[in-house]
């Protein structure tokens, strides 16, 4: 078996794989003999079917299978030995009526080559790195949210501003049946608010959906409507289930321990300092991401190189589970081209600067990311075993 490369241009080549009968003949014979041992063909005892009949029934399919295995191995070995940096995967050049009985077979494959380019980090114009100031109001608001989150719900009999309202929205015709929570200030219009204030527990009222909530997006959320019925639902019945007043939790040791573990925080001042420190760390992650996005855009805009566009579009037509036509592949390529360019730039920078990341670094980064996400849901002190899992 021989593999050779013919360059079309700097970014496109054709690999030719030449397979001769001697490359696969012995393996085919071996497989057919194994078939003979296991064959159950009417008129013959198991293992005694004539080899000629076995070859007649299975010879071509076994040969094709072995040739394909050789071909794939030959391609992989060649790409590895020659250290060809390709994009996508080789695309077989289609041939009509392959003569599988020929002593010599040639198969051609199109390949797209990764471009040669240099990445310059000598930026004449500075890229801004931002710092977000954590002010007193931000910390005070966060403390109020924490107090409400860990506070008690006290049942009420009448709706007032600030109370939490729980009830069911119903419209039988359009299959609306959803229980939701909201506050009076989420409702738009004095008439709607007055209608709700008159309700007692267990009573219901009909409400018009147009302009019901202060934000239009809230209507779909509270009614759980879908794209098909959201514009058809003109009215709903609201059945009042509960009214609760949330009593904020005291800023005491019990709350501090719930938030950060026993005796980690002992005073309100320490709590504020801790929240400020955590917020600053969280904002550093956000500003770092902003900086990374800006640097990425700069590198993509200022690192010029060509790609084997036509090859990649052709490859995209066959690469996924769902086959794409020519137009769909062109659209997909347009969406993914920027990402591909950045991947190539990133790989170049990693290689040029000998950047290595070990497993422990990835693990520590993942833990920090999980901690940050858990804080957003009020879990400020996750245990190590939670992070490990």
* Residue carrying the six token digits 């063909």: 41
Look at the chain and report how many structural domains it folds into.
3
Confidence of residue 230 (pLDDT cuts 50, 70, 90): confident
For the entire predicted model, the pTM comes to: 0.66
Residue-wise pLDDT tens digits, 30-43: 999 898 888 878 87
Whether pLDDT at 378 is above 70: no
Residue 243 in any domain: the answer is: yes
Which of 185, 214, 247 terminates a domain? The answer is: 247
**Statement to judge: residues 227 and 279 lie in one domain:** no
Which of 200, 223, 247 terminates a domain? The answer is: 247
Report how far residue 124's alpha carbon sits from residue 117's, in angstroms, rounded to the nearest whole number: 20
Q: Which residues contact 273 (CB under 8 A, 6 or more apart)?
A: none
Which of 202, 217, 247 terminates a domain? The answer is: 247
Q: Which residues contact 205 (CB under 8 A, 6 or more apart)?
A: 195, 196, 198, 199, 237, 238
Residue 353 in any domain: the answer is: yes
Residue-wise pLDDT tens digits, 95-136: 888 898 899 999 999 999 999 999 988 877 889 999 899 999
Residue 142 in any domain: the answer is: no
pLDDT score for 264: 92
Residue 121 in any domain: the answer is: no
| DSSP assignment of 355-369 | ----HHHHHHHHHHH
**Statement to judge: residues 14 and 97 lie in one domain:** yes
Q: Mean pLDDT across the chain, nearest whole number?
A: 91
Q: What is the CATH number of the domain that holds 9?
A: 3.30.70.1050
**Statement to judge: residues 198 and 79 lie in one domain:** no
Torsion sign across C-alpha atoms 242, 247, 248, 253: negative
**Statement to judge: residues 235 and 357 lie in one domain:** no
Would you state the structure tokens that stand for residue 268, as one six-digit string? Answer: 């309100």
Report how far residue 119's alpha carbon sits from residue 302's, in angstroms, rounded to the nearest whole number: 9
Enumerate the β-bridge partners of residue 180.
Answer: 167
Which structural domain range is residue 373 located in? 253-388
**CB neighbours (10 Å) of residue 351?**
9
Residue 287 in any domain: the answer is: yes
Identify the CA nearest to 87 among candidates 110, 68, 119, 118.
Answer: 110
Q: What is the CATH number of the domain that holds 209?
A: 3.10.50
User: How far from chain centre, in Å, is Cα 136?
Assistant: 36
pLDDT score for 381: 64
The helix (H) or strand (E) run that includes residue 337 is helix 326-352
Residue-wise pLDDT tens digits, 273-311: 999 998 998 899 889 999 999 999 999 999 999 999 999
Whether pLDDT at 388 is above 80: no
Residues in the chain: 389
Would you state the structure tokens that stand for residue 113, as one six-digit string? Answer: 């080559």
Confidence of residue 45 (pLDDT cuts 50, 70, 90): confident
Q: Which residue has the higher pLDDT, 96 or 72?
A: 72
């Amino acid at each position: 078996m021989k593999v050779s490369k013919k360059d079309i241009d700097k970014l496109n080549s054709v690999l030719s794989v030449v397979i001769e009968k001697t490359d696969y003949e012995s393996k085919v014979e071996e497989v057919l003999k194994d078939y003979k041992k296991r064959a159950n063909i009417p008129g013959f005892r198991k293992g005694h079917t004539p080899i000629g009949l076995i070859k007649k029934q299975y010879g071509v399919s076994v040969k094709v299978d072995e040739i394909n295995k050789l071909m794939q191995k030959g391609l992989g070995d060649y790409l590895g030995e020659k250290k060809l940096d390709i994009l996508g995967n080789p695309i077989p050049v289609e041939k009509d009526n392959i003569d599988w009985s020929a002593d010599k077979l040639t198969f051609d494959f199109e390949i797209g080559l990764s471009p040669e380019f240099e990445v310059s980090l000598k930026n004449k114009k500075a890229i801004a790195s931002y710092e977000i100031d954590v002010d007193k109001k931000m910390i005070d608001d966060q403390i109020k949210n924490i107090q409400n989150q860990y506070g008690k719900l006290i049942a009420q009999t009448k709706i007032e501003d600030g109370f939490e309202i729980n009830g069911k929205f119903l419209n039988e015709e359009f299959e609306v049946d959803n229980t939701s929570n909201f506050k009076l200030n989420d409702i738009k219009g004095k008439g709607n608010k007055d209608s709700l204030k008159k309700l007692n527990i267990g009573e219901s009222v009909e409400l018009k959906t147009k302009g019901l909530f202060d934000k239009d997006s809230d209507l779909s959320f509270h009614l759980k409507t879908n794209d098909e019925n959201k514009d058809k639902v003109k009215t709903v019945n609201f059945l009042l289930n509960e009214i609760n007043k949330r009593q904020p939790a005291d800023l005491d040791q019990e709350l501090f321990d719930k938030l950060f573990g026993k005796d980690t925080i002992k005073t309100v001042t320490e709590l504020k300092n801790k929240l400020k420190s955590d917020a600053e760390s969280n904002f550093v992650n956000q500003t770092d991401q902003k900086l990374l996005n800006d640097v990425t855009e700069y590198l993509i805009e200022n690192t010029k190189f060509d790609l084997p566009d036509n090859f990649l579009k052709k490859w995209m037509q066959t690469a996924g589970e769902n086959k794409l036509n020519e137009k769909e592949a062109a659209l997909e390529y347009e969406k993914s081209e920027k990402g591909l360019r950045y991947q190539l730039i990133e790989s170049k920078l990693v290689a040029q600067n000998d950047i290595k990341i070990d497993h422990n670094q990835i693990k520590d980064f993942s833990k920090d990311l999980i901690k940050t996400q858990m804080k957003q849901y009020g879990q400020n002190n996750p245990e190590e075993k939670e992070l490990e899992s």
